[in-house]
Structure 1
Amino acid sequence: MNHQDFFKVKDGWNLEIESIKEEQLVHFGSNLLCGNGYLGYRGTLDEWNKEQYQACVVTDTYDLADGKWKELSNSPNALTTELKIDGERLGDYPGQNEMTTKLNFNYKYGIFRRKSIADKNIEVVSERFASFDNLHLIANNFQINNIEANEIELKIGINGDVWDLNGTHLENFTGEYNSNKNTLYLKANTVESKITLVTALSFKFKKGKIKNIKVENEEKSIYLLVSVDAESDRIVLARNMIVYSSNDLANPLQAALNDAAAALESSFENLRREHQAVWDKKWELMDIKVRGNLLDQLAVRFNLYHNIIAAPAHSERLPIGARGLSCQAYQGAAFWDQEIFNLPMFLFTETETAKNILKYRYHTLKGARKKAEELGYAGAFYAWISGKTGEELCPSFFFKDVISGRKIRNHFNDWQIHVSPDISYAIWKYYLATEDIDFVINYGSEILFEVARFLHSRVHYNQYQDHYEIIRLLGPDEYHENVDNNAFTNYQTQFALKKALYFYHKMENEYPEKLEMLKEKINLLESEITSWQQIAEKIYLPCPDQDNLIEQFDGYFDLEDTTAEVLEERLINQDEYWGWPNGVAVFTQVIKQADVIQLFTLHDIFSETVLAANYDYYEPRTQHGSSLSPSQYAVVAARLGRAEETYNYFKKSAFIDLMSTNKAVSGGTFIGGIHTAAAGGIWQLIVNGFAGLKIDKEGLSFKPVLCQEWREVEFNLNYRNKKFKVILNKNIFQLKANVENNEILESNVFEKKYMLKPGEEVKIEL
């Protein structure tokens, strides 16, 4: 699909959309999201409402309204706008084409800008951003130009009739307008969780004279009908939308009004300048420069931007949602995506954010323990879909059979167990990247030990084979449920047990008092440590066969050997779910996403011969029905030196959202929004793939390769508080140690060690 069907590339930061297509409203809203980790305001026009998927999703507002889906709530919209000129309502409404509208989004600063031309050359320009200086603020500058009219009326205010996926979350609305301070607010509470949510608005006409203001209250909204005289044929309105909840502080109303007043005392330009200063610091750490292909450069920054704004970096108690804050899909909750896909970028850039992500799992141990206990296990079985408390949010019936209309019982919530050892894996990688032993002692060790306990209770001993197995589960490939000995899960299990043992003995030798306190806290017995060791030594690990292939799970090679293209022809309805229990893929070798290949991206324990054999086998059998998959195949392709295959997978991964290649609805369930795991996967694809970064007990290493489509790649890394720059082109791999480093930077490139003093650099010919 040609990108010019959707947008134009102005430069490496700006995306321009020449016309609004009604069928792209869901994707526009997500792709052009203004966000900051606290809230996400969708890329919609000022005059749009819930019919056009307008929404502002607010973190830490989980509410169960329909009895099934506990999801984040949407704030009332304080930037709602209706414009009438000489009694005629103006606006670019889908299907009416009253205006010609062009959109621009700047991914460097998360700034949304619309410019519309109506009859008589009337121009509407609106610009907004979700502030990174004040996370509760969305600043907006709204102007009308070239006015030749007698009567101009603006309807502004706060609209509480919002777009919700699963039930109405807000009730008991109250609002008030303060004419002396040009502020108004709308307060409501969530239906089930009783969270108070306050949305405030402050405004100032910088150009234009107010003739009259009339307050108009509705059941869920408060509006102002403002008659305005143009000034020099222009009206310029500065607005500030403020959102607070009672989970933020005790008096969200007063906080919202204070912020609204403070923002009004400043200017849109000053607020933007303060916001941009925060982004400048972030991009110093996180930007990846791609030279030689402008579209690819924009796509890279598009994904980095969305990974950044999806992360609640301000909190250690909130998750990264699988759709971030772009909509309510997947309930604003964490999957394994958080640790395996979103975390790595922060691990080597903004390490405090990485720590907060892992602390979230510490604070949700109670929910993980509860889930394990309810299912008859010990320790911590982390939720497949995890909100603030860590209790399982994944319903047992996720999809429906579109042919029969019956619900499908999926076992994501009780058989997909690899999420727990995935968290253990992330803790180990964090320790390797930061050497932050204090975090491991005070937080990580308890997670590691409780995950080991869970795995101990989950494995089965096969006395005939004298090994431990894991039965009745599903791995990353979600089409095949109820399988035994998924290779990825078994290897992750052994890894998690080994790391629990490693830190147990490290604490025993170096921090015995801390260990004794933890053992007493969680009632950890010596006999358990012995059992972990036995399981780690005797767990069944599917090994390469005579063809160097690793069987994805027991009996996989006995299934029908076909392709996704063949299965596509077997569908009765294009919206059918392909997976368990009776989807078209279940009894075939067609898999949803990287599974054995996912094992290779996490563990460097197999030869290139094994990697190549499995890549070549599983690649044609993978549908890539998950946005997680392409980036992982890309990393393995790069390790095999297949630069062009890596680039092909880059295009599949980087443009999932930018080109709107994924459907918003699957199996009758809305799954639209930004694919945050794919966004995080782009960082991995470039840094772990093209640059070949690996980290293990031996330290940092690189094995770079670059595609023909790019002239050069440049990015920064932070490894154990030593910052350095990486530059990769077709001929040279270059490392530059930051002059402010306090220690020598050690790394291996093509297995040769290099030691860089602060300020030194090395160039290695490829």
Structure 2
Amino acid sequence: MNYEDFFSIKDDWNLQIEGLKEEQFVHYGSNLLCGNGYLGYRGTLDEWDKEQYQACVITDTYDLADGKWKELSNSPNALTTELRVDGQKFGDYPEQDQMITELNFNYKYGIFRRKSKSKTVNDLEIVSERFASYDNLHLIANNYQISKIKKKKIELKLGINGDVWDLNGPHLENFKGEYDSQKNILYLKANTVESKIPLVTALSFKLIKGKIKNLKVENEKKSIYLLLNIEAEAEKIELERNMIVYSGNDRENPLSSAIKDAELTLELGYQKLKEKHQAVWDEKWKLMDIEIKGNLLDQLAVRFNLYHNIIAAPAHSEHLPIGARGLSCQAYQGAAFWDQEIFNLPMFLFTETETAKNILKYRYHTLNGARKKAKDLGYEGAFYAWISGKSGKELCPSFFFKDVISGRKIRNHFNDWQIHVSPDISYAIWNYYLASGDLDFVINYGAEILFEVARFLHSRIHFNQYKDQYEIIRLLGPDEYHENVDNNAFTNYQSQFALKKAIYFYYKMENEYPEKLQQLIEKIQLSESEVTAWQEISEKIYLPQPDQNNLIEQFDDYFDLEDTTAEVLENRLIDQEEYWGWPNGVAVFTQVIKQADIIQLFTLHDIFSEEVLTANYDYYEPRTQHGSSLSPSQYAVVAARLGRAEECYDYFKKSAFIDLMSTNKAVSGGTFIGGIHTAAAGGIWQLIVNGFAGMKIDKRGLSFKPVLCQDWKEVNFNLNYQDKKFKAVLGQNSFKLTAAVENNEILKFSVFEKEYTLKPGKEVKIKF
């Protein structure tokens, strides 16, 4: 597949699309998303609406409208535009061939720009630019220009359109719109259907060039518009406008906040708003950018993925999750999966540490939801939701897919058998502690999570008295094609790890913070016998070991399943839309797996020899379909650790272009799953830093085992480790670390198992 079929490259920050294709509308909207962690405005043209998947998803607006799917709500669109020239509607799809359109997106600042030239109206041009501000998270600023106007009658319909695209809605009701002619401000009030959250969308605007000759207000059932007759100035009309969104979860009086912001932003003007926004991004990129030398396409792809991982994170809040599709659409309900801790979080652990802390605090604030889920299923402690919204209650329905042949619903057990999400969170807390050295967080927040996860595992694990070992039965691991299995290796190892870390911090608190421990013991009614049980389970839990061929069985009796490949199974499908997994999909009784599972174990735990990694990589790789966007980056990391730089690079291309080249379907099993694959975006950071640079972290500190593919001459990235900042430069035969001058301590690390120290402002260069 050639990237020119989808876009062209302007430079290493800018993607360009020339000529729009209707089959790509879903992907345009996601890939060209303006976002800031609070809202996500899809990459659509000003005159498009829900038919072209226009949407602006707002965080913290969870609502249940259809009785099944609780998802984030879309704001009414305050940038809706209708242009008429001499009475003729401009750019009205499907009459798109009226104009030639070029789209440009700048990933350094998240700026969407469209340029359209009319083929029928004397080369009339429209240029529109917008961004979702990082200086004011409630703002989308827009500059809209019409040029080459030659004595034409120009009519503009501006306003706020409440008839929006919803996957499982509509989510808004009780619309009321008003226009303040003195301030040139419109607003539209509504509230969510189930949760009754007030939502206010405001619009302020001013003409920079041109003169309003006539203005009419048009109030519709769900919308409010202004109909403007405008006289051009020097054959040009230029308009600045600001879309402001507030919900009742942001402010007690969202309307007054929206109007205040609408006024202020109008006063500041587009250019000043843009400068303030860019200044925030400049600070972010100082730590988060990764520079690739030698391949311009790969450089743009890396920044595309970093950008989307950043804007998916609600860095402004400790009460909100990173959605599996971010804020690019409502798919996956704007909720957290295990993706959040295992794929999105690592980049923030070593760059924007406060954001990493907020992500983990979200899990602390949703403990009660995890406790409720455990109790409802007959367990103790905290069983975190497979799909977790604001409250932490389980959002994953029991019937997710549909049998496309019979039309019947398929019962999945993602919500009650996929238990590794809880120990995954414990794993993330430990890594945060290692990366930041922030023991206070663990004492005040993390320990309670660790103890409650250990308590859940204690209640979930079974003791096999005949084998004198603890086992975890009836579950599924990362490979979702195989449900109802016993002793999934990834889950068992991850569970032991979680138990050990709970024990570690229990005794650390007992020795160093006895009062804090006692308070926590009383709060959650923790007994010493439970801690003793955790210790026994961690020592006796069954951990599948490498066999005579160095292979680790993914779960009990996996090797007895039919040994075949995904290509063979493709030919067994009756319908291409069939779901491959439980209970009777084509992969269930075979060794074909959906995604990295044993390989996922290797990326998280450095406890196996290179011989074991090699044997399992070679065995599981041809049996993996990569039906999940999470998978390629993890195979890449292990390939790099094995010194297979070119295989790592092959997986880089599979992972980095999942969205850029639209390689994944927007609909699976009858369910819309489009939007940005945020876990794949986060996985690119891991692929480069943990893969090519070979970075690992443990109690001894940081270590590196670098290797680089032939297509790249050099990779530059920055890290923040325990408040010590440094820059890494990886070349074909060299690896250099340079410590920031402002560091207060010496950095200790190892490269190829040789130890080094790095003083502030100094560098170490290693040849290999």
TM-score bracket relative to the smaller structure: over 0.9
**Partner SS for 1:657:** coil
Counterpart position of 1:266? 268
- Alignment partners' CA distance in 1, 2:127 and 2:94: 18
**Partner SS for 2:126:** strand
Counterpart position of 2:50? 50
Question: 1:227 pairs with 218, 221, 229, which one?
Answer: 229
Counterpart position of 1:763? 765
Question: 1:544 pairs with 521, 546, 557, which one?
Answer: 546
Give runs of aligned pairs for residues 689-704 of structure 1, distance below 5 A.
Answer: 689-704=691-706
Is the 1:737–1:761 Cα contact (8 Å) retained in structure 2?
yes
Deviations 1:413-432 (A, max 9, x none): 00000000000000000000
- Specify the code of the residue in structure 1 equivalent to 2:3: H
Unaligned stretches of 5+ residues in structure 2: none
- Alignment partners' CA distance in 1, 2:618 and 2:594: 16
1:96 aligns with 2:86: no
Cα displacement (A) at 1:323:
0.1
Deviations 1:575-598 (A, max 9, x none): 110000010000000000000000
Question: 2:392 pairs with 390, 393, 398, which one?
Answer: 390
Cα displacement (A) at 1:96:
3.5
- Alignment partners' CA distance in 1, 2:732 and 2:153: 63
Counterpart position of 2:750? 748
Question: 2:715 pairs with 713, 716, 727, which one?
Answer: 713
- Alignment partners' CA distance in 2, 1:440 and 1:150: 66
Is the 1:601–1:636 Cα contact (8 Å) retained in structure 2?
yes
Give runs of aligned pairs for residues 394-433 of structure 1, distance below 5 A.
Answer: 394-433=396-435
Counterpart position of 1:74? 74
TM-score (norm. length: structure 2): 0.99
Counterpart position of 1:255? 257
- Alignment partners' CA distance in 2, 1:622 and 1:150: 61
Question: 1:674 pairs with 673, 676, 682, which one?
Answer: 676
1:37 aligns with 2:49: no
- Specify the code of the residue in structure 2 equivalent to 1:45: L
Gap change, CA 1:403 and 1:161, over 3 Å in 2: same
- Alignment partners' CA distance in 1, 2:506 and 2:302: 40
Counterpart position of 1:124? 126
- Alignment partners' CA distance in 2, 1:401 and 1:166: 20
**Partner SS for 2:455:** helix
- Alignment partners' CA distance in 2, 1:598 and 1:585: 19
- Alignment partners' CA distance in 1, 2:152 and 2:604: 67
Cα displacement (A) at 1:372:
0.2
**Partner SS for 2:658:** helix
- Specify the code of the residue in structure 2 equivalent to 1:394: C
Cα displacement (A) at 1:94:
4.1
Counterpart position of 2:165? 163
Question: 1:447 pairs with 430, 449, 456, which one?
Answer: 449
- Specify the code of the residue in structure 1 equivalent to 2:225: Y
- Alignment partners' CA distance in 1, 2:232 and 2:435: 58
Counterpart position of 2:581? 579
Cα displacement (A) at 1:392:
0.1
Counterpart position of 2:213? 211
**Partner SS for 1:73:** strand
Deviations 1:170-229 (A, max 9, x none): 000001000000000000000000000000000001001000110011100000000000
- Specify the code of the residue in structure 1 equivalent to 2:99: M
Is the 1:288–1:715 Cα contact (8 Å) retained in structure 2?
yes
1:351 aligns with 2:364: no
- Alignment partners' CA distance in 2, 1:299 and 1:428: 31
Gap change, CA 1:624 and 1:250, over 3 Å in 2: same
Counterpart position of 1:20? 20
Deviations 1:485-543 (A, max 9, x none): 00000000000000000000000000000000000000000000000000000000000
Counterpart position of 2:338? 336
- Alignment partners' CA distance in 2, 1:649 and 1:446: 38
1:479 aligns with 2:472: no
- Alignment partners' CA distance in 1, 2:709 and 2:441: 39
**Partner SS for 2:499:** helix
- Alignment partners' CA distance in 2, 1:724 and 1:634: 25
**Partner SS for 2:205:** strand
Cα displacement (A) at 1:93:
2.0
- Alignment partners' CA distance in 2, 1:435 and 1:82: 54
Deviations 1:265-293 (A, max 9, x none): 01100000000000000000100000000
Is the 1:418–1:492 Cα contact (8 Å) retained in structure 2?
yes
- Alignment partners' CA distance in 2, 1:167 and 1:30: 20
Cα displacement (A) at 1:125:
0.4
**Partner SS for 2:690:** helix
Is the 1:85–1:149 Cα contact (8 Å) retained in structure 2?
no
- Specify the code of the residue in structure 1 equivalent to 2:300: L
Counterpart position of 2:113? 113
Q: Please list every run of at least 4 consecutive aligned residues from structure 1 whose deviation after the TM superposition is greater than 3 angstroms.
A: none
TM-score (norm. length: structure 1): 1.00
Deviations 1:606-645 (A, max 9, x none): 0000000000000000000000000000000000000000
- Alignment partners' CA distance in 2, 1:469 and 1:670: 36
**Partner SS for 1:570:** coil
- Specify the code of the residue in structure 1 equivalent to 2:9: V
Cα displacement (A) at 1:151:
1.2
- Specify the code of the residue in structure 1 equivalent to 2:347: M
Question: 1:627 pairs with 616, 626, 629, which one?
Answer: 629
What is the CA RMSD across the aligned residues, in angstroms? Answer: 0.5
- Alignment partners' CA distance in 1, 2:642 and 2:435: 24
Question: 2:661 pairs with 659, 662, 666, which one?
Answer: 659
- Alignment partners' CA distance in 2, 1:702 and 1:167: 49
- Specify the code of the residue in structure 2 equivalent to 1:439: F
Is the 1:399–1:669 Cα contact (8 Å) retained in structure 2?
yes
Is the 1:371–1:381 Cα contact (8 Å) retained in structure 2?
yes
Is the 1:92–1:99 Cα contact (8 Å) retained in structure 2?
no
Counterpart position of 2:290? 288
- Alignment partners' CA distance in 2, 1:393 and 1:235: 48
- Alignment partners' CA distance in 2, 1:215 and 1:38: 30
**Partner SS for 2:61:** coil
- Alignment partners' CA distance in 2, 1:433 and 1:700: 9
Cα displacement (A) at 1:149:
3.1
1:722 aligns with 2:724: yes
Question: 1:507 pairs with 509, 521, 527, which one?
Answer: 509
Counterpart position of 1:612? 614
Cα displacement (A) at 1:335:
0.1
Cα displacement (A) at 1:92:
5.5
Residues paired across the two proteins, number: 766
**Partner SS for 2:97:** coil
Counterpart position of 2:381? 379
Question: 2:203 pairs with 201, 206, 210, which one?
Answer: 201
- Alignment partners' CA distance in 1, 2:576 and 2:700: 49
- Specify the code of the residue in structure 2 equivalent to 1:182: N
Counterpart position of 2:86? 86
Deviations 1:111-146 (A, max 9, x none): 000000002100000000000000000000000000
- Alignment partners' CA distance in 1, 2:98 and 2:364: 53
Counterpart position of 2:498? 496
Is the 1:86–1:149 Cα contact (8 Å) retained in structure 2?
no
Counterpart position of 2:4? 4
Gap change, CA 1:400 and 1:95, over 3 Å in 2: farther
- Specify the code of the residue in structure 2 equivalent to 1:237: L
- Alignment partners' CA distance in 2, 1:96 and 1:90: 9
- Alignment partners' CA distance in 1, 2:442 and 2:758: 28
- Specify the code of the residue in structure 1 equivalent to 2:66: D
Gap change, CA 1:94 and 1:731, over 3 Å in 2: farther
1:185 aligns with 2:191: no
- Specify the code of the residue in structure 1 equivalent to 2:52: Q
Counterpart position of 1:64? 64
- Alignment partners' CA distance in 2, 1:380 and 1:193: 25
**Partner SS for 1:215:** strand
